[in-house]
């Protein structure tokens, strides 16, 4: 006959009255706390994170496009997505140039005359080996970096206009919407000292040739003039301070 042994096991954490008395007398250790499983938490993934402004800001243009269906039910996020896409497109539109583009005679119509109506084109007629041309080109290189929405091109003078006199070099032509808006012959047009700031102020005398890409018309022109005037004054003050430091003391 089989011998069966039953072992009774009480509910974990349960205690008899006798055990409780012994614990009060110090004959048994304190009862361990009953086991409690940790609360259930769903694994956090990309979809469970709150979709706030910083979450949207971290996305690229392609990722924002992919999120279009997910954001349809949230008016704020949908509007913010549209705003971000518009800002990205505007930024890309502004930063389209940024340097002086060398062109040849056959390129002139395509690159200058047929430029979009919203693009101002500054054309430098020059020749290698002319100090005045090199000085003005350095100024234009700086302005091209500051104002990437404005298109700067350079072309050998006689490639643009056959038999163009060297005495007229350098020459700047300003185009917009297929028409010449201004021309400047020689360095004397830019004052006694040819600086990027001085050239910028001359170019923006009457037209928004240079612009910051975010405003248009007169507001952009005024912004550029104010900024370049401030740079010019700061440069002059710095030069004067350096001259005073270098002068011999009594």
Taking residues 1-22, what's their average pLDDT? 59
Whether 116 and 219 share a structural domain: yes
φ, ψ for residue 189, nearest 5 deg: -65, -20
**Same domain, yes or no: 202 and 145:** yes
Pairwise CA distance, residues 89 & 186, whole Å? 38
Report yes or no on 76 lying in a domain: yes
pLDDT higher at 81 or 114? 114
Is the per-residue pLDDT at 48 higher than 60? no
Of 73, 94, 115, the residue at which a domain comes to its end is 94
Is 210 found in the same domain as 88?
no
| Same-domain check for residues 214 and 113 | yes
Relative to beta strand 120-126, strand 171-176 is antiparallel
Residue 1 lies in a domain: no
What CATH number is attached to the domain comprising 143? 3.40.30.10
Helices marked H in 68-211 — which ranges?
75-94, 108, 131-146, 157-160, 196-203
Distance from C-alpha of 187 to C-alpha of 168, rounded to nearest angstrom: 9
Cα–Cα distance, 64 to 9 (Å, whole number): 60
Does residue 12 belong to any structural domain of this protein? no
Asked if residue 160 and residue 196 are part of one domain, the reply reads: yes
Least Cα distance to 174 among 146, 207, 148 occurs for: 207
Instruction: Let me know if residue 32 belongs to a domain.
Output: no
pLDDT band at 7 (very low <50, low <70, confident <90, very high): very low
Question: Whole-angstrom Cα distance, residue 133 to residue 140?
Answer: 10
Same domain flag for 67 and 110: no
**Exposure string (b/e) for 56-70, b if CB count within 10 Å is 16 or more?**
beeeeeeebeebeee
Residue 174 phi, psi (nearest 5): -115, 120
Instruction: Kindly report, residue by residue over 124-155, the tens digit of the pLDDT.
Output: 999 999 999 999 999 999 999 999 999 999 99
Domain boundary residue among 39, 69, 94?
94
Q: pLDDT (tens digit, 9 = 90+) per residue, 100-132?
A: 999 999 999 999 999 999 999 999 999 999 999
Does 158 map to a domain? yes
Residues 145 and 76 reside in one and the same domain: no
How many domains is the chain partitioned into structurally? 2
| pTM of this structure | 0.59
Same domain, 83 and 160: no
Q: Is 17's pLDDT higher than 90?
A: no
The more confidently predicted of residues 127 and 41 is 127
Give the residue numbers spanning the domain of 74: 53-94
Write phi, then psi, for 152 (nearest 5 degrees).
-110, 130
Residues 132 and 240: their CA atoms lie apart, in Å, by: 25
* Same-domain status, 174 and 132: yes
* One domain for residues 154 and 170: yes
Asked whether residue 84 falls in the same domain as residue 111, the answer is no
E strand map for the chain: 100-102, 120-126, 151-156, 171-176, 179-185
């Amino acid at each position: 006959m089989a011998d069966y042994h039953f072992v009774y096991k009480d509910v974990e954490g349960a205690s008899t009255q006798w055990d409780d008395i012994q614990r009060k007398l110090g004959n048994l250790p304190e009862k361990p706390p009953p086991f409690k499983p940790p609360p259930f938490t769903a694994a956090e993934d990309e979809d469970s994170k709150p979709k706030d402004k910083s979450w949207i800001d971290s996305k690229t243009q392609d990722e924002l496009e992919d999120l279009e269906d997910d954001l349809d039910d949230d008016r704020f996020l949908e509007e913010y997505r549209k705003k971000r896409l518009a800002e990205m497109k505007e930024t890309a539109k502004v930063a389209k140039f940024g340097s002086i583009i060398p062109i040849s005679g056959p390129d002139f119509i395509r690159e200058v005359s047929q430029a979009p109506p919203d693009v101002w084109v500054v054309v430098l007629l020059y020749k290698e080996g002319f100090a005045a041309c090199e000085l003005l080109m350095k100024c234009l290189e700086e302005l091209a970096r500051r104002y990437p929405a404005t298109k700067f091109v350079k072309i050998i003078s006689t490639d643009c206009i056959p038999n163009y006199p060297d005495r007229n070099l350098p020459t700047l032509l300003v185009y917009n919407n297929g028409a010449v808006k201004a021309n400047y012959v020689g360095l004397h047009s830019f004052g006694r000292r040819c600086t990027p700031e001085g050239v910028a102020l001359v170019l923006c005398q009457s037209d928004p040739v240079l612009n910051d890409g975010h405003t248009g018309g007169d507001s952009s022109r005024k912004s550029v003039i104010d900024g370049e005037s401030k740079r010019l004054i700061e440069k002059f003050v710095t030069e004067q301070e350096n001259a005073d430091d270098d002068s011999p003391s009594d």
